[in-house]
């Protein structure tokens, strides 16, 4: 039997939504309709942070237990009103190809993506300019990934150390949970060199790994990571993406990559202290506003590596 379909008006667009009753998070009973409701309600704080950023979806058409796939190129099925950017990707051992990335700049485009069961939204650290020009990065990111035996509590301790150095270097760092096991730290930057954020992040990650080798690793090598936090500086590579702030994650529960305060990071002593589901995030935004907004207001040049 075919699933239900309804037509709704979203802004200036008419969208046909399907299978709203389908449960996408079985353990939590969270339906596709609730996913659409979450993205609609979180849109005012989400959209500014993904605007003009080439988007990669992680889609879960049969829910989080039914497998997923990454989707970058939407040229085959995007409505003509969805803004896109045709970008060349590849190089360094890979044949270049042209990919038509979606740009989710308004509510109809976001709802269209959610209706595809694109639970996770991943973006680059740069934006797309006129004529599909890839601008230089405006974000510096450190992806804190706990190895076996480590948790977000350990990530919080590493985040505190990174915070001290970044503030000393003139940044205003912002933290968010990954919505999974780890955490990301961001800082707004101004640069004319696409490779500069990676060089700075690598140098800082290696410095912290040398200072506290019992807690931090700066290399991806798996046998180095048990009980430690891997500072993944490579997320600054122009071809890589990081989960967007306020994006859902495809985990057992509808957890969200959630901006957090530095007081919350310092107080974290248990994994539940920094685990937030969609309902909780909507309440947090109502109470605390957009904790990620400082990133857009505080871009500074990257200092020389000392």
- Lowest model confidence (mean pLDDT) among 2-11, 103-112, 173-182: 2-11
Q: What are phi and psi of 97, to 5 degrees?
A: -140, 155
State pLDDT tens for residues 98-124. Answer: 999 999 999 999 999 999 999 999 999
Q: Which two tokens stand for residue 162?
A: 């990174």
Distance CA(140)–CA(166), nearest Å, equals 11
Task: Please report, to the nearest 10 degrees, the dihedral formed by the alpha carbons of residues 237, 241, 244, 249 taken in order.
Answer: -140
- pLDDT bracket for residue 232 (50, 70, 90): very high
Q: If you average pLDDT over every residue of the chain, what do you get? A: 95
State pLDDT tens for residues 62-78. Answer: 999 999 999 999 999 99
Distance CA(226)–CA(91), nearest Å, equals 33
- pLDDT score of 1 more than 60: no
Is there a contact between 254 and 37 (Cβ–Cβ < 8 Å)?
A: no
Average pLDDT over residues 249-274: 97
Which domains can be identified in the chain, with CATH numbers?
5-134 (3.90.920.10), 139-301 (3.30.70.3300)
Q: Which two tokens stand for residue 180?
A: 């999974």
Strands 174-177 vs 133-134: parallel, antiparallel or unpaired = unpaired
- pLDDT bracket for residue 220 (50, 70, 90): confident
Q: Which two tokens stand for residue 246?
A: 């306020």
Nearest alpha-carbon partner for 160 in 296, 299, 264, 52:
264
In 90-131, which ranges are E strands? 97-102, 118-123, 128-129
- pLDDT score of 284 more than 80: yes
Distance CA(220)–CA(1), nearest Å, equals 47
- pLDDT bracket for residue 93 (50, 70, 90): low
Distance CA(146)–CA(46), nearest Å, equals 26
State pLDDT tens for residues 163-174. Answer: 999 999 999 999
Q: Can you give the pLDDT at residue 4?
A: 87
Is there a contact between 161 and 272 (Cβ–Cβ < 8 Å)?
A: no
Alpha helices in 140-224 (DSSP H): 152-168, 196-211
């Amino acid at each position: 039997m075919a699933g239900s379909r309804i037509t709704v008006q979203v802004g200036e667009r008419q969208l046909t939504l399907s299978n709203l009753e389908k449960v996408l998070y079985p353990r939590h009973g969270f339906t596709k309709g609730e996913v659409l409701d979450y993205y609609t309600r979180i849109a005012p704080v989400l959209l500014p942070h993904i605007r003009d950023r080439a988007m990669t979806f992680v889609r879960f058409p049969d829910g989080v237990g039914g497998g997923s796939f990454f989707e970058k190129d939407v040229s085959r099925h995007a409505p003509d009103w969805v803004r896109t950017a045709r970008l060349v990707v590849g190089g360094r051992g890979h044949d270049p190809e042209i990919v038509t990335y979606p740009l989710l700049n308004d509510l109809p485009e976001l709802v269209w993506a959610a209706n595809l069961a694109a639970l996770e939204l991943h973006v680059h650290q740069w934006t797309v300019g006129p004529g599909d020009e890839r601008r230089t990065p405006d974000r510096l990111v450190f992806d804190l990934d706990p190895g076996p035996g480590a948790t977000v509590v350990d990530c919080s301790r590493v985040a505190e150390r990174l915070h001290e150095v970044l503030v000393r270097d003139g940044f205003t760092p912002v933290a968010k949970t990954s919505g999974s096991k780890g955490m990301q730290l961001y800082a707004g930057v101004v640069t004319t060199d696409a490779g500069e954020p990676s060089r700075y992040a690598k140098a800082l990650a290696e410095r912290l790994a040398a200072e506290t080798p019992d807690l931090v690793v700066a290399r991806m090598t798996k046998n180095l990571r048990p009980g430690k936090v891997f500072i993944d500086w490579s997320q600054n590579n122009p071809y890589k993406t990081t989960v967007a702030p306020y994006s859902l994650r495809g985990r057992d529960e509808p957890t969200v990559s959630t901006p957090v305060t530095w007081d919350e990071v310092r107080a974290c002593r248990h994994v539940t202290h920094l685990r937030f589901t969609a309902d909780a995030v909507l309440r947090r935004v109502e109470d605390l506003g957009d904790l990620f907004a400082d990133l857009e207001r505080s871009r500074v040049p990257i200092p020389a590596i000392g």
